[in-house]
């Protein structure tokens, strides 16, 4: 078995019963780290539903949930490579570099705060164009043609052969939704929009001192042609991914071409399981690992 570990993006957090995430074993020390860095009680904020509207809460929560599981998985199974979707791309780089989980959480707090502030000056959201609202198949050229009349919108993600996501101001998204359908993704901001570049670069500079020249395991990105051990290249790609479309369909194809036979989604992973299935992976080939105890359920 060749195993790749996937880290989810902000949209993977459960909208209902968020306390399920808080009940993960090994979470309390990381929750304390996040709360101290935030200056607020993260668990209390999540119980109030703040993670649904505040990026500066959602991203630290996701980092805590994933970093509570990752060390156990890393030590118990041979991980061939790591990858992440959107915010999860930062977590994948952290896993590839073997960063201390508490440092990862502190950096996630900084990232969430910075991008939340950026979103206040660049209000917007995401719109998923799915099979229910568009013809099958949908090419990138068709999506670009659709957006031609809305220059404020950009492509945010290609998640599956039949799923594209666009990013931009609410008014423009509403116009596209009225004419072409789709599903609004309220994730706190117009993520992967070029207007966020002034936020991405400083965050990269903050992470840079912690990334070794050679990563402990390959980092995979849809923006790269092949997995890489090169720390500087992976860091530059992570920064670029903040303002570039997520090429998730291509990334999953790249993993298949590299001989990966099993996928493990760390933390809240139901969204990643669905996307893997939409990209032709068998359901039994993607395992959800939401707690350290669930690592033992992974095939050896």
Tell whether 231 and 281 lie within a shared domain: yes
pLDDT, tens digit, 9 for 90 and up, residues 188-197: 999 999 999 9
Structurally, the chain folds into a number of domains equal to 2
Tell whether 11 and 91 lie within a shared domain: yes
Average pLDDT over residues 157-168: 94
Please tell me the distance from the alpha carbon of residue 98 to that of residue 78, in angstroms, as a whole number: 14
- Of the pLDDT bands very low, low, confident and very high (cuts 50, 70, 90), residue 6 is very high
Q: What is the mean pLDDT of the chain?
A: 92
pLDDT, tens digit, 9 for 90 and up, residues 225-263: 999 999 999 999 999 999 999 999 999 999 999 999 999
Amino acid 135: pLDDT: 52
Residue 134 pLDDT greater than 60, yes or no: no
Tell whether 227 and 242 lie within a shared domain: yes
What's 209's domain CATH number? 3.40.366.10
* Alpha carbon distances (Å) from 257 to 225, 250, 252, 261: 11, 10, 9, 10
Q: pTM of this prediction?
A: 0.95
Residue range of the domain that includes 217: 3-121+193-297
Average pLDDT over residues 128-156: 80
Tell whether 98 and 229 lie within a shared domain: yes
Backbone angles phi, psi at 54, to 5 degrees: -115, 115
Average pLDDT over residues 131-160: 81
Amino acid 208: pLDDT: 98
Amino acid 18: pLDDT: 60
Amino acid 17: pLDDT: 58
């Amino acid at each position: 078995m060749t195993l790749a570990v996937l880290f989810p993006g902000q949209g993977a957090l459960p909208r209902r019963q968020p306390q399920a995430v808080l009940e993960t074993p090994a979470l309390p020390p990381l929750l304390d780290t996040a709360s101290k860095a935030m200056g607020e009680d993260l668990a209390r904020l999540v119980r109030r539903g703040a993670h649904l509207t505040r990026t500066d809460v959602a991203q630290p929560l996701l980092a805590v949930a994933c970093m509570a599981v990752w060390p156990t998985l890393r030590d118990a199974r041979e991980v061939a490579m790591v990858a992440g979707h959107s915010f999860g791309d930062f977590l994948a780089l952290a896993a590839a570099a073997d960063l201390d989980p508490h440092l990862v959480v502190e950096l996630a707090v900084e990232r969430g705060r910075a991008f939340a502030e950026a979103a206040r000056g660049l209000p917007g959201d995401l719109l998923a164009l799915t099979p229910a609202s568009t013809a099958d198949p949908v090419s990138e050229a068709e999506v670009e043609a659709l957006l031609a009349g809305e220059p404020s919108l950009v492509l945010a993600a290609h998640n599956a052969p039949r799923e594209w996501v666009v990013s931009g101001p609410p008014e423009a998204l509403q116009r596209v939704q009225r004419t072409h359908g789709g599903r609004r993704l309220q994730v706190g901001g117009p993520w992967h929009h070029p207007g966020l570049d002034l936020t991405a670069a400083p965050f990269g500079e903050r992470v840079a001192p912690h990334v070794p020249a050679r990563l402990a395991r390959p980092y995979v990105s849809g923006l790269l042609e092949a997995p890489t051990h090169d720390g500087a290249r992976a860091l530059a790609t992570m920064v670029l991914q903040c303002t570039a479309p997520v090429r998730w369909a291509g990334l999953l194809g790249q993993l298949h071409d590299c001989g990966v036979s099993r996928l493990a989604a760390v933390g809240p992973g139901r969204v990643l399981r669905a996307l893997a299935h939409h990209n032709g992976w068998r359901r039994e080939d993607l395992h959800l690992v939401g707690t350290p105890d669930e690592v033992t359920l992974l095939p050896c």
